[in-house]
Amino acid sequence: MRFSKSFIPTLKETPAEAVIPSHILMIRAGLVRQLSAGIYTWLPIGYKVLRKIMDIIREEMNAIGGQEFHYPALNPKEIWEQTGRVEAFGDIMFQVKNRDYVLAPTHEEIVAWHAKGNVTSYKDLPQIWYQIQTKFRNEPRPRSGVIRGRQFIMKDSYSLDRTFEDLDKSYELHDKAYRKIFERCKLKFFVVGASSGAMGGSKSEEFMVRSDAGEDTVAYCENCGYAANVEVAQSIAEPAKRHTESKQLYEIHTPNVKSIDELCAFLNIDEHETAKSRVYIHNNNPVLVLMLGNDEVNETKLQSVLGGNVRPAHPDELKEIAGADAGSIGPIGFKYRIIADNLLKDANNLYSGANKNDYHIGGIDLMRDVPNIEYYDLRVVENGEKCIRCNSNLEVFRAIELGHIFKLGTKYSEALGVNYLDENGKEHPIVMGSYGIGVERILACYLEQNYDEKGIIWQKPLAPFDIHLIGLNMKNSEIKDTCEKLYDELQKNGFEVIYDDRYEVSAGFKFNDADLLGVPVQIIVGEKNLKNNSVEIKIRRTGEKFVVPLDELNQKLQFILKEN
């Protein structure tokens, strides 16, 4: 590809709307341009990389027996109403104004709809159907470039099986395929156990990339490989103590003491002697959640413990429920259900709120004073706590979700009546799995992991080109002729080449564009080396430079490109 004839709008300055490295680089190197919040145009170079990613995905999906479909993005609303997901998605689903259509945010319904009446025998199963297609979600806050968009490309696949045992096999196939895909894309990733959330189903795992730009938080054990989304992660942490003697309850005047930190400072005590109170509303009834010290309530865990409808109480409800505002609430005299984190189990001599503003109570014995208390795991795991499997230190950090695999079960097949007949002529709902990869996120994550202060660092197989050929002074006919010849030869030898043939652009400009674009190998043709029938090769990743005689170039390139 000739640079002079290509649309590669590189930018010297950091665009104002971009904050994270991958987003900045995508814009500066001319891979994308934003059209609106969460909506991006892929420019030629960006789309070239994206196609390479999609090709890898296709190969691996085909390798596990996947069949590629192309489902419509525009769907009749009626089908989505049958599974109740118009309501479940709510505002996230785009709806068409002048006809009863919706823009598909995923395709479980459509897959099930096509399976119905067409996949009718046990002989038709199993099936893996996939597509690479644009999805639409009306995200309230798109962010981080293409990482969370309102329109994005997803590889989604769906498995159709006879039994849950067969589903396990389809799930395993996807797990393996996903690992291969991300490995081939040269990503450093890991797999975590996750909450299935509203998708339902028995098991789900997320494929994650560590990044401060991520929207998920995960706990990870380097020693044994335990990894889990903090929504479900567990750890070993020091519990509150039970002393041999319980003190009597006593009230303490604590003016303006609201937080646990303030309480500890005021009374000169350790946070392990305190219990923090949080009030939630569960199916219209207040619930007091007691946590040890400064521990945070894990609302996903709370939700799965309580079931039903759970939300934090509003500040103006607290006075009526507890008789005090946040900061002075506690278990003593609280009239409703009380649940506590396991770390508080049977603790005594605790300090907590008095349900009276500006007062706390000391000497609390949960066994003696709070008879109906229930204990559950309700904590958010914190950095440095011990792994539940191997007792090593856990690390807690942010991550980007690249892919998610779900065992769905029969939720959709039952809702839409998608059944098959077994050997005995007996009808059963088809067992489904659903599996997704954010295609653009692969690119964004790759960039997050492969750049320096000069720009992108590509490596095969994602690199848009193998070689960046730079002709320095194109007005020098000797340079120009050599470049043209090299351009032809390199392509004939099977390399993908971007050739900076721009006539009036200065050397420095070309060098900087090449570094920004990040093609693995640069071949620099200049007057100095050409006098000795040589050119310079620069390795983008390391910055190493070699002067190579023209007749040894091809041999040297084969060697270098193997490693880059």
Q: Does 536 help bind RNA (rule: CB under 7 A)?
A: yes
Question: Which C-beta is closer to RNA: that of 319 or that of 545?
Answer: 545
Q: Does 545 help bind RNA (rule: CB under 7 A)?
A: yes
Q: Does 564 help bind RNA (rule: CB under 7 A)?
A: no
The secondary structure of residue 76, as a DSSP letter, is E
Q: Does 43 help bind RNA (rule: CB under 7 A)?
A: no
Q: Does 16 help bind RNA (rule: CB under 7 A)?
A: yes
Q: Does 97 help bind RNA (rule: CB under 7 A)?
A: no
Torsion angle (degrees, nearest 10) of CA 17, 20, 25, 30: -30
Nearest distance in Å: CB 38, RNA = 6
Site for RNA in 222-281 (CB under 7 A): none
Point out which span in 52-60, 71-79, 141-149, 555-563 binds RNA (CB under 7 A). 141-149
Q: Does 506 help bind RNA (rule: CB under 7 A)?
A: yes
Q: Provide the CB-side half-sphere exposure for 170 (13 A, CA).
A: 30
Sign (positive/negative) of CA torsion 187, 190, 191, 195? negative
Nearest distance in Å: CB 204, RNA = 7
- At 63, which helix (H) or strand (E)? helix 44-63
* DSSP-assigned states of every residue in 397-459: EEEEEEEEEEEEETHHHHHHT-EEE-TTS-EEEPEEEEEEEEHHHHHHHHHHHSEETTEE---
Question: Which C-beta is closer to RNA: that of 69 or that of 509?
Answer: 509
**Closest alpha carbon to 545 in 475, 528, 488, 484:** 528
Nearest distance in Å: CB 381, RNA = 15
Nearest distance in Å: CB 499, RNA = 16
Query: Any idea which residue has 């570094």 for tokens?
Result: 515
Point out which span in 123-131, 331-339, 346-354, 510-518 binds RNA (CB under 7 A). 510-518
Nearest distance in Å: CB 140, RNA = 4
Query: Any idea which residue has 């005590």 for tokens?
Result: 269
- How many other C-beta atoms are found inside a 10 Å radius of the C-beta of residue 564? 17
Nearest distance in Å: CB 274, RNA = 23
The pairing of beta strand 285-292 with beta strand 337-341: parallel
Q: Is 193 helix (H, G, I), strand (E, B) or coil?
A: strand
Point out which span in 29-37, 60-68, 246-254, 423-431 binds RNA (CB under 7 A). 29-37
Q: Does 492 help bind RNA (rule: CB under 7 A)?
A: no
Point out which span in 9-17, 64-72, 285-293, 322-330 binds RNA (CB under 7 A). 9-17
Residues 6+ apart with CB under 8 A from 541: 457, 459, 520, 564
Residue pair 125/163 in contact (Cβ under 8 Å)? The answer is no
Contacting residues toward RNA, per CB under 7 A: 10-17, 19, 34, 36-38, 85, 88-89, 92-93, 105-106, 137, 139-144, 148, 196-199, 215-216, 299, 404, 406, 436, 454, 472-475, 503-509, 511-513, 515-516, 524-529, 535-536, 538, 545
